[in-house]
Each structure stands twice: as structure tokens, then as C-alpha cells.
């Protein structure tokens, strides 16, 4: 098999104090990160200095449900900014880096999402992306008058229609619909306005959107589902896929499968970037990196570790399990690709519950690695050259320290190898990613 050439895409996923479950306890972490805007300004500007293609923020529409012991000892999923609001602020203090955040299709309306993301695309000069999710936390349903989520298949059918409606609303106006000509008195051309008049199984939306067509035409569509239904949604709609394989073989299998599905939707594989999550703890030497990782592991309370593992396994009840015993058989079996990959790893390596949560503590189901900058760069290059990914979404263990290490140590090494950009090659997120600007459906 021929090894690929070219450069990788790198995004960075910010999670308040960091992705390690005990990151908030690290003395160099920003302990009030979830509500500290200056903290996010520093992170965004550091990532832009490192030439990352984009920032990424997740979101959940509920406070996590956990025991008092776990809730009192964890900073995860409890108190943090709403990401669209946060990105509006970060757009004003950055100039080039892309801005991506999560908005669920289960508990929003297409008009709301189309309007908000189009507005931010204008405000940022064309740097917005939308991570399409269908919601997975049970508690989210309770905040929207439901006792449980939509069924899995129904959630994805709703999501596909939702994305189609949003794209249609972004095409409400032709690119040149607003001449704003003072001399002639013509502000807009009514012939270049289009009503969507969508009527489907889940939505009835007339339009038009009351925001001009976004600078990118369509802001970049991101998706993270790994189930078979999620892969179909990605093949049909996604331009960036955030994924979670734990080894090169699994990454290559996912990459080939999802890109292999694109042709039936009239899409070319080059129209999608597949990016695994990666928590990389780097230092000048292996010994120094290992010491950093071991210190973070020492800060984990066992009950927090158990609950995080339960969350990764889509709410599996592990409360009565021996931490030093094996993972029990789960009924029902989780649907998503991440939990199934974690279960397979536990069975394959005969891991106890404690060993498993320690393995997942750095990135909650995504791959973690540690070592010298050379060792980590070698691993990333292996994945990229083998065609297991188009790059990575890095998940710093604690913030700002782990991000600083990546920008100061890892990025220069990747640039030295010709694997990563030294300057931005455009002004919009689409240009950063090498993605074409979509034509309007009315063109």
C-alpha cells in the first residue's frame, strides 16, 4: 500500500479546564475555566499562533446526572458557557482560526440554527462550522418536555432533514442579492430572494432566512456519529468527521468505510476530512511526559473514574461493580461506535474497570498518548501516512499547560517534517480545509 503525502489538518477541542477527568485539580489549570472568558481568549489566540485550522467546542443541554460524590468532585459537564455565545466573543479576538461548535438537531429548530450560525459566519468573516449532533445524554430530554430521547433511527432521520432545511435557508438569498446602492435607492433585489417552502416528515419551514447568504455559502458541516446510521449521515452531509478509533487498523477501517459510502450521495472523498480525537501529552523526553501523565492520573477519584466510564458506555450501570473486576456484559448493548470500541478494547486486553477508566481518563473514549515530541509526532505521522485519518482533533489534557506544550513543542516538529502548515492558506474555514464553496441550490 502506497503511503500518502501532503499535510494534515489539526483542530483543537477545548473542554473548560482540559480533557483529563481530573484536570481541574492540576495546579496549573484555570480552575474557573467554564465561566472565564479571558481564559478562552488566551487559548484561542495561542491556538491561532500555532496555526491550528480550527477550535472546537462540544455542548450538552443538561447538567450531568451523577451521585453527589461524583458530582462534587468533577468539573465535567456542569457549568460552562453556551458555545455559540462564546464563539461570538472569540470571533472578535481572533482573525484566522476556524470556529466550530455543537448544536443538537433534537432540541432546536432549523430556523434558529441557520440564523445563528449564518450570523456568526458573517461576524467572523467566514470561519464558522456546525457540529451536528442528535443528543445522547438522557437528562437532555427532561429539559424539553420529553421522558426519553427520540428513538435512534428517528433521531438520525430528523437530523438529516434538519441539515437539509438549514442548508436551504442559507440559500435564501443569492450572493449578490443586496446591492445597497444609495444612489439608485435599491437596497435589495427581490428577484434574488427564495422561499424554501419545505414540508417534510419532521419540519415545515417557509423561509426565507432573515440573514444574507453566509460568506462561506454554507458554513462547514461537522459530524461525529460512529454507528452505521451515523456513518450514513456523515457520508451524506459531513465535511469534517470527528471520530474515535483507538488504533491504526480501526482508524483505517473507519476511514475507508465512511469515505466509501460518499459516492452514492454524489460526493467525492476529497470533500470530507476525517479527524480522530487525540489527547497527546508531550514533553522534551519520554520520562518527563510520563511524569506529567502519571501526576494527572493520581488526581482521579475512583468514583469519578467509574462514572466517566459509565458515561462513555452510554449510561451503563456500573455502581455495584468491583473496580478491580472485569467489565460486565451490558444489556442493552450501547449503540454508538465509541462505546463499542471501548468494550472491545476491554475484552481484548482483559482490563479491569479501574484499568479501563484510567485508560479513558485523558479523552473520554478517544485515543490518548504520551511521550517525547519525537515519539508523538512519529505516531501521528504513522496514522496519517497509512490513510487512517486526514489529521487530528487534539484534546489537551489540562489547560492552558497542555496546549502550550503542543504549540511550543509538537507543532514545530510537525512543521519541520512538512506535515503541518506554517501559515494559513486562506481567510475562511473552507479555504483552510481545502473545501469548495457550495453553489446555491437556486444557482
- Per-residue pLDDT tens digits for 245-299: 889 999 999 999 999 999 999 999 999 999 999 999 999 999 999 999 999 988 8
Strand pairing category for 367-372 and 273-283:
parallel
Has residue 1 got a pLDDT over 50?
Answer: no
What distance in Å separates the CA atoms of residue 310 and residue 305, rounded to the nearest whole number?
9
Asked if 428 and 126 count as a contact pair (C-beta separation under 8 A), the reply is: yes
| Domain segments of the chain as ranges | 9-293+364-433, 301-360
Has residue 76 got a pLDDT over 60?
Answer: yes
What is the pLDDT at residue 343? 84
Q: What is the DSSP letter of 255?
A: H
Q: What are the strands, taking DSSP E only, across 80-230? A: 98-104, 128-133, 198-199, 204-205, 220-223
Q: What is the DSSP letter of 63?
A: P
Has residue 226 got a pLDDT over 90?
Answer: no
What is the pLDDT at residue 361? 64
What is the pLDDT at residue 5? 81
What distance in Å separates the CA atoms of residue 286 and residue 263, rounded to the nearest whole number?
43
What is the pLDDT at residue 364? 65
Question: Which is nearest to 58 in space by CA: 389, 383, 363, 384?
Answer: 363
The CATH fold assigned to 9-293+364-433 is TIM Barrel (3.20.20)
| Residues in CB range of 14: below 8 A, 6 or more apart | 40, 43, 55, 56, 57, 396, 399
Of 30-39, 215-224, 306-315, 342-351, the least confident: 306-315
Amino acid at each position: 500500500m502506497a503511503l500518502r503525502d501532503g499535510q494534515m489538518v489539526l483542530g483543537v477541542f477545548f473542554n473548560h479546564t482540559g480533557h483529563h477527568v481530573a484536570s481541574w485539580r492540576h495546579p496549573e489549570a484555570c480552575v474557573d475555566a467554564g465561566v472565564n472568558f479571558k481564559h478562552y481568549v488566551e487559548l484561542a489566540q495561542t491556538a491561532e499562533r500555532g496555526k491550528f485550522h480550527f477550535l472546537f467546542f462540544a455542548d450538552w443541554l443538561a447538567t450531568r446526572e451523577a451521585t453527589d460524590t461524583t458530582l462534587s468532585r468533577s468539573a465535567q459537564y456542569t457549568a460552562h458557557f453556551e458555545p455559540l455565545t462564546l464563539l461570538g466573543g472569540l470571533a472578535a479576538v481572533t482573525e484566522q482560526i476556524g470556529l466550530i461548535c455543537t448544536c443538537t438537531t433534537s432540541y432546536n429548530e432549523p430556523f434558529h440554527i441557520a440564523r445563528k450560525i449564518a450570523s456568526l459566519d458573517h461576524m467572523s468573516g467566514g470561519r464558522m462550522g456546525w457540529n451536528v449532533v442528535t443528543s445522547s445524554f438522557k437528562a437532555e430530554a427532561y429539559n424539553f418536555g420529553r421522558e426519553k430521547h427520540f428513538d435512534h433511527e428517528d433521531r438520525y432521520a430528523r437530523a438529516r432533514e434538519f441539515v437539509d432545511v438549514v442548508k436551504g435557508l442559507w440559500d435564501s438569498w443569492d450572493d449578490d442579492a443586496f446591492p445597497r446602492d444609495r444612489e439608485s435607492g435599491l437596497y435589495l433585489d427581490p428577484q434574488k430572494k427564495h422561499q424554501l417552502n419545505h414540508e417534510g416528515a419532521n419540519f415545515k419551514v417557509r423561509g426565507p432566512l432573515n440573514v444574507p447568504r453566509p460568506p462561506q455559502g454554507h458554513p462547514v458541516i461537522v459530524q461525529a456519529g460512529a454507528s452505521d446510521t451515523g456513518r450514513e449521515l456523515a457520508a451524506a452531509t459531513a465535511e469534517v468527521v470527528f471520530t474515535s478509533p483507538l488504533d491504526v487498523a480501526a482508524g483505517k477501517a473507519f476511514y475507508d468505510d465512511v469515505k466509501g459510502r460518499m459516492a452514492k450521495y454524489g460526493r467525492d472523498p476529497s470533500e470530507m476530512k476525517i479527524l480522530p480525537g487525540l489527547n497527546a501529552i508531550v514533553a522534551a523526553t519520554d520520562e518527563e511526559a510520563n511524569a506529567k501523565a502519571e501526576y494527572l492520573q493520581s488526581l482521579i477519584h475512583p468514583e469519578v473514574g467509574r462514572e466517566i466510564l459509565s458515561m462513555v458506555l452510554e449510561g451503563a450501570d456500573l455502581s455495584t461493580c468491583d473496580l478491580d473486576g472485569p467489565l460486565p456484559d451490558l444489556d442493552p448493548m450501547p449503540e454508538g461506535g465509541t462505546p463499542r470500541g471501548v468494550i472491545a478494547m476491554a475484552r481484548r486486553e482483559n482490563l479491569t474497570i479501574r484499568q479501563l477508566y484510567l485508560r479513558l481518563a485523558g479523552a473520554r473514549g478517544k485515543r490518548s498518548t504520551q511521550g517525547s515530541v519525537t515519539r508523538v509526532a512519529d505516531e501521528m505521522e504513522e496514522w496519517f501516512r497509512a490513510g487512517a485519518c486526514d489529521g487530528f482533533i487534539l484534546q489537551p489534557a489540562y489547560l492552558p499547560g497542555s496546549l502550550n506544550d503542543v504549540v511550543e513543542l509538537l507543532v514545530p516538529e510537525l512543521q519541520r517534517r512538512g506535515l503541518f502548515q506554517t501559515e494559513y492558506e486562506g481567510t475562511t474555514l473552507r479555504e483552510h480545509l481545502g473545501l469548495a464553496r457550495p453553489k446555491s441550490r437556486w444557482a
